Amino acid sequence: MLVSITAMADPVVVVGAESSISSLSQNQVRQIFNGQLRRVSGVSVKPLDLPGSNGTRELFYQQAMGKSAEQMKSYWARMIFTGRGMPPREVSSEREMGMLLGSDPGFIGYLDEARVPSGLKVVYRP
């Protein structure tokens, strides 16, 4: 029963507790993860992405970006090819995501809401 509840939780956008970012709009989240917005509240933001095999990644892109993870992969392939941007840094696991977010106030990422560790703060819920 606990597994099914965890599986149904929505992804949320999170930053480290030391970050000066307190909340984000959906438009800001889209721009950050599209590579169009690089500063928020005076902070240079560095988006992080979960591995392609992680189900939270697909849910995040569908809910926050209105696109599938495959559509975002195609978007980034075009951006890289034209020299207009680089995709968010991909981490190896949710654990690494949490560690990086807590280590630098500029990192911004997303996690399953039920799995957000202490020391991180939620700045956007789709």
Q: Which CATH class is domain 2-124?
A: alpha beta
The dihedral sign for the CA sequence 110, 56, 118, 97: negative
Q: What is the pLDDT, as a whole number, of residue 8?
A: 54
> Are the C-beta atoms of 101 and 48 separated by less than 8 Å?
yes
Q: Is the pLDDT of residue 1 over 90?
A: no
Phi, psi of 64 (to 5 degrees): -90, -35
What tens digit of pLDDT does each residue of 87-105 get? Answer: 999 999 999 999 999 999 9
Cβ neighbours, 10 Å, residue 22: 9
For residue 94, the surrounding DSSP H or E stretch is helix 94-103
Phi, psi of 118 (to 5 degrees): -65, 155
For residue 55, the surrounding DSSP H or E stretch is helix 55-60
Instruction: Tell me the two tokens of residue 96.
Output: 């690494």
Phi, psi of 99 (to 5 degrees): -65, -45
The burial of 83, by beta-carbon neighbours within 10 Å (0-12 exposed, 13-18 middle, 19 or more buried), is given as exposed
Global pTM?
0.90
Domain locations along the chain: 2-124
What tens digit of pLDDT does each residue of 42-71 get? Answer: 889 999 999 988 999 999 999 999 999 999
